[in-house]
Homo-oligomer: A and B are copies of this chain.
C-alpha cells in the first residue's frame, strides 16, 4: 500500500461539512460519496446533525463508529485546523481539503505527514476515480479512460466536461489545489499502474521538482499512457525583461516543451486540443507518421481538409498508382482518387462504399492515418431507413482500421446518431469540426514521434579558471576555449603601447572589441575589418576615448566564405535545471526568432535534432548552390556549451553569438556569461543551485 492508497480506493470515507444545499461543496461531496456506498462505508459529518440526501449525519468526527481511511473537508477555513487535527488524532490516513483561504498550510501538511497521513489540497476541487466508484468533487463525471491531474480545479473540470462530450470520459481526476503536501508528480507517478487510465491530461502552472516530474512522465510513457500537458506562459513570458538574446529566445514555454519532449510528453495549447487528441489516442491505433489520407463525399470539404491538414504539418500524400486503381473500382468515372478521395456520389449508390474505400486506404503502406470528412453519419439522421446500413458501414470501417492498425478519424456534421456511437465504440474518434480531427491526428503523430530521451553525453572536463574576471568576453572566451570551443586567435590589451606586439602576432584583418561591453555592435564597442596597425591604432584611440579604459580584445577576423552566423546559448531554469539553445544568430537573432531548446543533459543525436528543427536548416545544408556548412561541428558546440553549463553550477547563463559555421568548421566570435554571486566569504559549493541574488562573478566549475 503506497501512502496515496487512501485516495484511490478507501474502505471508508467521511465528508466533513456535508450539506443539504446544492450550492455548497459539502452537498456535492456527500452526493458523490454516497454513490460509492455500495463499495465502502460512507459517513457524513454536519455540525447541526440531521440528514443529507437521505443519509444520517453525525455532528462531529468523534461520533463516528470507526476511523475512516479518507476524510474530505468542506468546512469554513476557521474550522478547518481543529477538524484536521481531530481526523489525524483518529488515525485518518488521507485528507482531502476543499476549503480555500487556509492559513498556515505548511504547518498542517507537516502535521499530517508526522501522523503518517497525506493531504491533498487545500483549495482543491476534489478527486474522482471511476474504477473504485470514488467521487468527492464538484460536478458530474463520466467514467472513462482519461486521467486528469490539475493545478486548477475548474480547468480540470472543463477537461472532464470535454472528455464526457468526446465520449472518452474520465478514469481518475485529481485537483491538486495548493499542493501543501501531495504534489502533482506524486499523483502522476501513482497513475502508472492505474489500469483504467489510457491517457493523462495534466494542467500545471508551476513545476516544482522538475526531475521527479520528468521521471513520473517518463514512467507513464513507458507504461503506454501518453501524457498531454497544458500550462501557461505565453503572455507572462512577454513580461520577462530579457538581458541576453538567449533569454529572449528561450521563454519558459520553450523550456517546458523541451522538458516534455525529453520525457515523452507533449504540451498542447488548449483544453479542447488536449481532449481531441486524447480521444484519438485512447480509441484508435497508434498514428505512425504524418501521411494522411482524406476520404470524403464533397470535393469542397475534401480540399479544405487537405489545406487544413497541410497547414497542421500533415502530409496529404499522393497515393501510389495501385491504391488509386483499387479506389477506382468503387467509384464512378472521374472521381478524384489521388488524395483527397472524393466519393462523387458513390456513397449514395451504396453506403458500404465508404467502408470499402477506407479499407483500401488503411491497407495501403503509404498511409499513417485516415481522415473521413463529409456527410457520413448524416444518413442515419436524414434518411432513417438507411440508419442500419450506415451503422454497418461504420463497423466495417472500424474493423478495417483495426486490422490495418491505422487510425480513422471522422469529421461528421452529424452528432449523436447511431452511426457516431458505432464509430466511437469501434475505435474511430469523431469530431464536429474538421480542424479538431486534423489537429488530433497531428498531435497524435507528434506524440508517436517523440524521441526516446537517451543517455546524456558526458559533461566533459571543464577547467576552473582561477581569478576569472566577473564577466565579459575575455572570461567567457577563456572558459569556452578551455572547454574546446574554437575562437579566432586574439590578444587581450589594455594600453595603446601593447597594440604593435599584438598585431605582429596576428593575421589581418583584425577586429577590436571592448571586452566588457554587452551587445558591442550597438554600443560602438566593436570595430571590424581593421587592415593594419594604423587602423588598429585609430580604432583603439576612438574606442578608448568613448568607452574609457578596460580590456580590449584584438582578434583575427573570421573571413571564411560561406560562414553562417548562428547563436548557441544556455541558461538555468528554476525547475528543469540547465537548458541549451541554438538558433539563427547575429544581431538579428531576436527578429528571426528561429531557435530550438533542449535540456542540457542532451546527447549528440538530440543536439542534431535541435538543429534539424530550425527553419534556417536549409541554409546550413547548402542553400542555392552554396556549400553545406559544418553541422556536426555546430552540434559539438551545443554539447560543449551544455557540458559547461552542467559542470559550472554557478553559471546562470552563457551565450555564443555569433557562432560562425562554415564548411570547414565552427568558430565563435563573441561570448557572454553571467554567474551567480558567490556566497559571502565562501566558495560556492559545486552542484548547488545558484542563489536568488544573481550577479556577475567567477563561474565555479567542478
Q: Which residues of A contact B (CB under 8 A)?
A: 22-23, 100, 138-139, 150-155, 157-158, 161-162, 203, 205, 230, 232-236, 238, 269-273, 297-301, 303-304, 306-311, 316, 345, 348, 374-375, 382-386, 413, 432-435, 519, 521-523, 587-588, 591, 615-616, 618-619, 623-625
**B587 touching A623 by the CB < 8 A rule?**
yes
Contact of A374 among B154, B161, B304 (CB under 8 A): B154
In the bound assembly, the distance between CA atoms of A202 and B366 in angstroms comes to 34
Q: A234-B307, A270-B308, A435-B272 are in contact. Are A298 and B153 (CB under 8 A)?
A: yes
**A300 touching B270 by the CB < 8 A rule?**
no
In the bound assembly, the distance between CA atoms of A298 and B623 in angstroms comes to 49
**A271 touching B434 by the CB < 8 A rule?**
yes
In the bound assembly, the distance between CA atoms of A303 and B233 in angstroms comes to 8
**B316 touching A235 by the CB < 8 A rule?**
yes
In the bound assembly, the distance between CA atoms of A311 and B382 in angstroms comes to 40
**A311 touching B269 by the CB < 8 A rule?**
yes
A624 cross-chain contacts in B, Cβ below 8 A: 519, 521-522, 587
Chain B minimum-CB-distance residue to A379: B23
In the bound assembly, the distance between CA atoms of A435 and B304 in angstroms comes to 20
Contact of A298 among B155, B270, B587, B615 (CB under 8 A): B155
Q: A234-B310, A383-B23 are in contact. Are A100 and B299 (CB under 8 A)?
A: no
Closest beta carbon of chain B to A552's beta carbon, Å: 20
**B232 touching A304 by the CB < 8 A rule?**
yes
Q: List 10 A-B contacts (CB under 8 A).
A: A22-B383, A154-B297, A205-B299, A232-B306, A234-B307, A236-B303, A270-B308, A270-B435, A272-B435, A588-B619
**A345 touching B591 by the CB < 8 A rule?**
no
Chain B minimum-CB-distance residue to A269: B308
**A23 touching B298 by the CB < 8 A rule?**
no
Closest beta carbon of chain B to A412's beta carbon, Å: 10
A591 cross-chain contacts in B, Cβ below 8 A: 615-616, 618-619, 623
**A382 touching B22 by the CB < 8 A rule?**
yes
Q: A300-B155, A300-B205, A413-B157 are in contact. Are A238 and B382 (CB under 8 A)?
A: no
Q: A155-B301, A232-B304, A619-B588 are in contact. Are A433 and B272 (CB under 8 A)?
A: yes
Closest beta carbon of chain B to A69's beta carbon, Å: 28
A150 cross-chain contacts in B, Cβ below 8 A: 300
Chain B minimum-CB-distance residue to A619: B591
In the bound assembly, the distance between CA atoms of A230 and B308 in angstroms comes to 12
In the bound assembly, the distance between CA atoms of A442 and B65 in angstroms comes to 59
In the bound assembly, the distance between CA atoms of A233 and B306 in angstroms comes to 9
Contact of A307 among B233, B297, B303 (CB under 8 A): B233
In the bound assembly, the distance between CA atoms of A298 and B159 in angstroms comes to 14
Chain B minimum-CB-distance residue to A294: B235
Chain B minimum-CB-distance residue to A140: B382
**A154 touching B23 by the CB < 8 A rule?**
no
In the bound assembly, the distance between CA atoms of A345 and B100 in angstroms comes to 10
Chain B minimum-CB-distance residue to A270: B435
A301 cross-chain contacts in B, Cβ below 8 A: 152, 154-155, 158
Closest beta carbon of chain B to A484's beta carbon, Å: 30
A233 cross-chain contacts in B, Cβ below 8 A: 307
**Chain A to chain B: the 10 pairs with minimum beta-carbon distance, closest first:** A152-B300, A154-B298, A522-B625, A234-B307, A155-B300, A272-B433, A232-B303, A235-B310, A235-B306, A23-B383
A304 cross-chain contacts in B, Cβ below 8 A: 155, 230, 232, 270-271
In the bound assembly, the distance between CA atoms of A158 and B138 in angstroms comes to 36
In the bound assembly, the distance between CA atoms of A150 and B303 in angstroms comes to 14
Closest beta carbon of chain B to A360's beta carbon, Å: 21
Contact of A413 among B158, B236, B519 (CB under 8 A): B158
**B155 touching A384 by the CB < 8 A rule?**
no
**A23 touching B521 by the CB < 8 A rule?**
no
**A384 touching B234 by the CB < 8 A rule?**
no
**B383 touching A623 by the CB < 8 A rule?**
no
Chain B minimum-CB-distance residue to A158: B413
Closest beta carbon of chain B to A547's beta carbon, Å: 14
In the bound assembly, the distance between CA atoms of A523 and B205 in angstroms comes to 54
